[in-house]
Chain A
Amino acid sequence: MDRTTQLGVNHAPDEIRGFSVAAGLVGLRRVMSLCWMASAAFGRSLAVSGAIWLVGPGLGVVPRAMEGVRNLAARRRELALRWSGVEIPGPPGPPPPAPEGASWPAARYRWIMSDPQTRREWVWVLVDPLAGALLAFFPLALILSGVWGVFLAFFGVPLSVEWDGLWYQFIPVEGQATAVLAGVLGVLQLPLALWVAPRAVRRHALYTRSMLAPSESELMAGRIQHLATTRSEAVDTQMAEIRRIERDLHDGAQARLVAMGMTLDAAEHRLESDPEAVRALLAEARESSSKALEELRDLVRGIHPPVLADRGLADAVRALAMVCPVRTEVHVDLPGRPEMPVESAAYFAISEILTNVAKHSGADRAWIDLRYDRGMLRITVTDDGQGGADVSRGTGLRGIERRLATFDGVLAVNSPVNGPTMVTMELPCVLPSPKTTSS
């Protein structure tokens, strides 16, 4: 997931050392795709420029054209990371929405330029067909030139006569000797191309980063935006929770206690006259009291489950698994207890997912895996059900996502149709040193 952009991530890109034919060949293949992508960038740049200057339907076309550019940029970011270990941060936020009534090219141009990321991508897509292509083409040019040299070694002399003098780089091909020299030079260029190719790929990645990476302050702005959103969502969720608790108390336990008081009052009045009716009223009052207790218990369980408070996340999840209608296995590898809010968010997320599994998945079995790894609480819930779960459709999953976002956590759902469903959650947190239990 690419929702949270992290600040200051600067992976040292792998330096390339030495010479290897295999690495060279891989590099050549890569520069070839980069060249191909430069031509794609050329197409996109034409599309965007055309869309901007097109009066009339231009406004509708611009966002689509820019989307194409954004996808191309995303692909290049991915390749830079995979091929060269160069991490290029993604756009800090979505592009701004199209302005109303911007029918004139100038207005559309201003709109594109108003978002720094869009502006950067536009400049990049204009430059890449030239700069990117040159960088990527260099090793290929060496190969072509090498082949040309070898060709000249065999056919250079007659060709030189026919073309009225011929130069191979700095060698005038005049006779057999200079033709052979051109051939030798050409052959030498082939290993040079193999040596250059992986380095060109890396250079290309660095050049792409310099073109596409948002500035520190933009990343910071994106980060602030993210925090503001999650904070307001957290406040909303909390308010909704408080309202729910208030309503539950008001309609539930409180009402029952009032009813109980009235029943007891009625009993008191009939104490002398109708002892039999009093017995029934008292039984009713007791019933009310146990219903009120039951409701309070459910309420407490919904706020902060006692077993979570007592034992922490691991045992609370085991307890969930025990009562889950789907047979559930739990594996825990936690060296300590996370902070309470994180624990609680994780617990309710797992609880919600298990409810989904029991209700919708049709699964026979489920597996929960809890582990802590380098500042990250990782939770995986897998089931062998029919799959097809979708975050965008399920309000439950969306709710979990929001809850986790408050803690900078993310949720990923992998649920192919017919396939198993795997829900993964990651929550950054710190674990204190293992708690010593006093027994």
Chain B
Amino acid sequence: MRIALAEDHFLLRDGLIRLLGAHGHEVVAAVDNGTELLDALVERRPDVAVVDVRLPPTFTDEGLRAVLAARERVPDLPVLLLSQYVEPLYARELLAGGGRGVGYLLKDRVTNGGHFLDAIRRVAEGGTAMDPEVISKLLLRKERDVAVGSLSEREREVLEWVAQGRSNAGIAQGLFISEKAVAKHIGNIFTKLGLLPTDGDNRRVLAVLAYLDQ
């Protein structure tokens, strides 16, 4: 895979390049600020961009803003945000554009190489990869929403995994239930959230949006 990397911290950038290289990925651009990132994303068109939220020159949400600007010009450009902290507000902004091929993970997740590379792959394929911490934070308010509140315990659990971007097989494995049961739960979730079959494959993302953006 061709990967563009934006990380201002030298040690982390170096480590990421090495980690990705070791797994046979090509880092086509490694930048340390938002302005160069936007140019790199638009010109190089990587398969996926791995971006730190906080970047120079402003050291605020420069990375996120560069990514959102890039996705305006290159729709559905796969982006995986990495940050020292996860902020539901940013997750929502990232998903607002349609939510295909986006991910948002805590930086610590890179210490588990397998998970991290799996997340990159899912995002590159147009899926989502949300950090469990975002999901669990938003889960706090589950009861206040009627639609999400009407889900059963199990369905909510399944939706949480869907929100993280797992496939049916992955969810089945994680929850120790059959893939068929997962499919049935997901079907129920779609019905309860009022998502029609005509919405197509995007329904998984729409369900996550319904979940995140009440």
Contact = CB atoms under 8 A, between A and B. Distances in A.
A306 B88 contact: no
A280 interface: no
Given A306-B84, A438-B58, A315 B144 contact: no
- Interface size class of chain A, counting residues whose CB lies under 8 Å from the partner chain: 20 to 34
Contacts of A307: 87, 89-90
Interface in A284-315: 286, 289-290, 293-294, 297, 300-301, 306-307, 309-311, 315
Contacts of B16: none
Given A286-B111, A306-B54, A439-B65, A323 B140 contact: yes
B111 to A, nearest CB: 6
Given A293-B108, A323-B137, A311 B60 contact: yes
Contacts of A327: 141, 144-145
A293 B138 CA distance: 21
B141 A324 contact: yes
B201 to A, nearest CB: 27
A262 interface: no
B85 A325 contact: no
Contacts of B192: none
Contacts of B65: 437, 439
A231 to B, nearest CB: 31
A326 interface: yes
B64 to A, nearest CB: 8
A323 B142 CA distance: 10
A322 B92 contact: yes
Contact of A310 (B54, B88, B143): B54
A326 B60 CA distance: 28
A427 B65 CA distance: 31
Contact of A325 (B84, B107, B143): B143
Most buried by A among B85, B88, B143: B85
A301 B137 contact: no
A322 B88 contact: yes
A119 interface: no
B143 A306 contact: no
Contact of A439 (B69, B84, B92, B108): B69
A306 B108 contact: no
B144 A319 contact: no
Contact of A319 (B53, B89, B108, B141): B89
Interface string B149-189: 00000000000000000000000000000000000000000
Contacts of A371: none
Contacts of A289: 108, 111
B130 to A, nearest CB: 14
B6 to A, nearest CB: 16
Contacts of A297: 84-85
A381 B126 CA distance: 41
Nearest to B86: A297
A223 interface: no
Interface string B84-116: 110111101000000000000011100110000
A323 B138 contact: yes
Interface residues of B, number: 26
A330 to B, nearest CB: 11
Nearest to B213: A322
Nearest to A309: B60
Contacts of A437: 65
Interface hub of A286, A322, A323 (most chain B Cβ within 10 A): A322
Interface in B6-58: 53-54, 58
A209 interface: no
Contacts of A324: 140-141
B89 A315 contact: yes
A319 B53 CA distance: 16
A436 B84 CA distance: 26
Contact of B140 (A310, A311, A325, A439): A325
Interface string A310-353: 11000100110011111100000000000000000000000000
B87 A306 contact: yes
B111 A322 contact: no
Nearest to B143: A325
Nearest to A294: B108
Contacts of B108: 289-290, 293-294
A318 B69 contact: no
B61 interface: yes
A147 B72 CA distance: 86
Interface of B: 53-54, 58, 60-61, 65, 69, 84-85, 87-90, 92, 106-108, 111-112, 137-138, 140-141, 143-145
Given A286-B111, A300-B85, A327-B145, 20 more contacts: A289-B111, A293-B108, A294-B108, A306-B54, A306-B87, A307-B89, A310-B61, A311-B60, A311-B89, A322-B89, A322-B141, A323-B137, A323-B140, A324-B140, A325-B140, A325-B141, A325-B143, A325-B144, A327-B141, A364-B144
27 contacts: A286-B112, A289-B108, A289-B111, A290-B108, A293-B106, A293-B108, A294-B108, A297-B85, A300-B84, A301-B85, A306-B54, A306-B84, A306-B85, A309-B60, A315-B89, A318-B89, A319-B87, A319-B88, A319-B89, A322-B89, A322-B92, A323-B88, A323-B141, A325-B143, A437-B65, A439-B65, A439-B69
Minimum-distance CB pairs A-B, first 9: A310-B60, A319-B89, A310-B61, A327-B144, A293-B108, A290-B108, A323-B137, A307-B87, A322-B88
